[in-house]
Amino acid sequence: MDTLHVALGDRSYPIYIDSGFPSSHLMSASIAGNQVMVVTNETVAPLYLAELLSLLPALKVDHVILPDGEQYKTIATVNQIFDQLLAKQHNRSTTLIALGGGVVGDMVGFAAACYQRGVDFIQIPTTLLAQVDSSVGGKTGVNHPLGKNMIGAFHQPRAVFINVATLKTLAKKELAAGLAEVIKYGLIRDSQFLQWIEGQLNHILQLENSATTRAIRRSCELKAEIVASDEREQGVRAILNLGHTFGHAIEACTGYKEWLHGEGVAVGMLMAADLSARLDYLQQADVGRLKELLLAAALPVKPPAKMAPADFMAYMAVDKKVLDGKIRLVLMQAIGEAFVTDQYSPALLAETLDLFCQS
């Protein structure tokens, strides 16, 4: 078992990476009270719920099974969690456990932040995207028709348990979507990691254990470092959103039903790279290199055909990074060096949007 730590003072917590679920002892050590509410979805429940429940025999355990899909990441769905917590009389010493992908994790974390003004929760992510990104860092929330993750709270988990074996049940599309976030870490912080991903991509796609575990570990290390230095995204943490402003626009415009989050991020990262090149930060060869890697990972490199530049601008205008009416973007000064800025030419942004929205 690999163990990492997110260093946040009294809110610090471990990340455990293994090829199986944790022992009952390790799980129980992360639970303060004697009440547990496991929250999962209708896809994950048949695969792993019974096994997880068997690890918690000495506790009062209830569970909620939610519908599966980004379109259900709403206040209405979170209310289903609250309904069960109240109906089963869970008190403020309860612990919520998120068993599933990023949608489940975000909603459970948000419910934990709100229920009785804050209770503990544990992340058990079952998708690559959740394992390397959304389960770490304490960002929780739900979507709104006008914007992704616009309603939420910062609420750190007590622990993150990553079972690499759960990736074997993922559809190839889901695995590729998670790889977009892995690639992101190389682009924003570690050019050598990006080079390693390029060399090991086929091994990761085949879920070879050593390559997959290393990809997850390094991604979590990089995120833990950034979160520890800027928990509430007042500065450097915003670079974790490379590609997300463009990608969230794609997700919102398609009603959170047609595109996976990682697919939107993939296109968004390429759009950010293109704009970075237009601003003379990156070389065109860097943009081509990223495009080649995304294609090799079976990720999209163009937005939906129905999207126009005006659609991007409308949704980007309600992005969380907008400040004083200015759309701030995460761009790259070089591969491995990202930064946040509102100092770019609107005309060059328009050129990028025009290029990517061509049929």
Q: Which residues carry out catalysis?
A: 117, 139, 181, 223, 233, 237, 241, 244, 248, 261
Cβ neighbour number for residue 205 with a 10 Å cutoff: 17
**Side-chain half-sphere of 177: how many Cα atoms within 13 Å?**
21
Distance, in Å, from the CA atom of 190 to the CA atom of 225, rounded to the nearest integer, reads 12
Q: What is the largest CA-CA distance in the chain?
A: 62
Q: Return the structure tokens found at 284.
A: 């065109």
Distance, in Å, from the CA atom of 50 to the CA atom of 68, rounded to the nearest integer, reads 18
DSSP state of 68: P
Rounded to an integer, what is the distance from CA 244 to the centroid of its chain? 10
Here the contacts of 211-216 (C-beta below 8 Å, separation 24 or greater) are 212/164, 212/167, 213/2, 213/17, 213/19, 213/164, 215/132, 215/182, 216/17, 216/128, 216/131, 216/132, 216/162, 216/164, 216/182
